Amino acid sequence: EAAVTQSPRNKVTVTGGNVTLSCRQTNSHNYMYWYRQDTGHGLRLIHYSYGAGNLQIGDVPDGYKATRTTQEDFFLLLELASPSQTSLYFCASRGLGANTGQLYFGEGSKLTVL
Amino acid sequence: GDSVTQTEGQVALSEEDFLTIHCNYSASGYPALFWYVQYPGEGPQFLFRASRDKEKGSSRGFEATYNKETTSFHLQKASVQESDSAVYYCALGEASSSFSKLVFGQGTSLSVVP
């Protein structure tokens, strides 16, 4: 069973604060993703990566940076957090092959920006 | 860019009712189509996929048929159970990104009462 672990699971910060969300996958998957989930909007793609050192821009990238340091680790950075970034964030990974497109999600990181 | 629209935001049914959740897409090229399910407190889980016109995907009693003419991939189940209560997401894999980028719909919350 694919495993994707996110930390922290809950985070509260203030406007202008600096936040890093971490994601580690232990499945040797090539692709990793960061989504945010909001009521009425579903899951929206922020950034994704197909390998260490690679970064692809998603659909809602403004205010977010991301870095893929190894095949296992993908970080989402909010350098000047704003209340509009209060959300539930999901990391996911995907391998190549017959099940192309099947994402394995973590359990989510709830971020509150006051 | 490519997009997915789910018509119903919420669906309330009784056990043994027939379920339909509507999903329509807009895409350039020939996308892959997916259904995911999310239970409370968890990340979304892959349900099934279809990658060509008239192909039927299915899992756990749920099914959907890829219809290129009507650009649809509607989710159906003949007899729902209380345990099916969850949020369901339709998604597409963009052909332009070799299916590496997945775009999700807004989600449909299904509530099934005994």
Beta bridge partners of B10: B109
- Which band of pLDDT confidence, cut at 50, 70 and 90, is reported for residue B56? very high
Chain A residues in contact with B105 (beta carbon < 8 A): 42
Rounded to the nearest angstrom, the minimum Cα separation between B45 and chain A is 7
Asked if residues A9 and A111 have their Cβ atoms less than 8 Å apart, the reply is no
Is the pLDDT score of A63 beyond 60?
yes
CA distance A76 to chain B (A): 17
Mean pLDDT, residues B21-43? 94
The arithmetic mean of pLDDT across residues A25-40, rounded, is 93
The pLDDT of residue B113 is: 96
Q: How does residue A88 score in pLDDT terms, banded at 50, 70 and 90? A: very high
Kindly indicate the confidence band of residue B89, based on its pLDDT and cuts at 50, 70 and 90: very high
CA distance, residue A29 to nearest chain B CA (Å):
12
**A101/B102 touch (CB, cutoff 8 Å), yes or no:** yes
User: Which band of pLDDT confidence, cut at 50, 70 and 90, is reported for residue A1?
Assistant: low
Average pLDDT over chain B reads 94
Task: Give how far A66 is from chain B: nearest CA, Å.
Answer: 16
| pLDDT for the residue numbered A72 | 96
DSSP state of B55: P
* Amino acid B3: pLDDT: 93
CB count within 10 Å of CB B26 equals 13
* Closest alpha carbon within chain B to A106: B43
Burial of residue B13 (number of CB atoms within 10 Å: 0-12, 13-18, 19+): middle
**What tokens does A44 get?**
């929206």
Cβ count within 10 A of residue B7: 14
A45:B45 CB<8 A: no
Nearest to B79 by CA among B35, B8, B13: B13
pLDDT over 70, % of chain A: 95
Tokens at B73, concatenated: 């991939």
pLDDT for A90 equals 98
Checking if the pLDDT of B40 tops 90, the result is: yes
Q: What is the pLDDT of residue B101?
A: 85
pLDDT bracket for residue A99 (50, 70, 90): low
Give contacts of A 33-52 with B, CB under 8 A: 33, 35, 40-45, 48, 50
The beta-carbon neighbor of A102 closest among B42, B46, B104 is B46
Distant-in-sequence, close-in-space partners of A59: CB < 8 Å, separation ≥ 6: A44, A45, A46, B1, B103
Mutation target among A103, A104, A107, A110 for the B interface, most CBs of B within 10 A: A103
Is residue B47's pLDDT more than 70? Answer: yes
Measured CA to CA in angstroms, residue A103 lies from A5, B53, B64, B67 at distances of: 14, 22, 19, 23
Helix (H) or strand (E) holding B71: none
Residue A61 scores a pLDDT above 80? yes
Contacts of A31 in chain B (CB under 8 A): 100
Assign B99 a pLDDT band (cuts: 50, 70, 90): confident
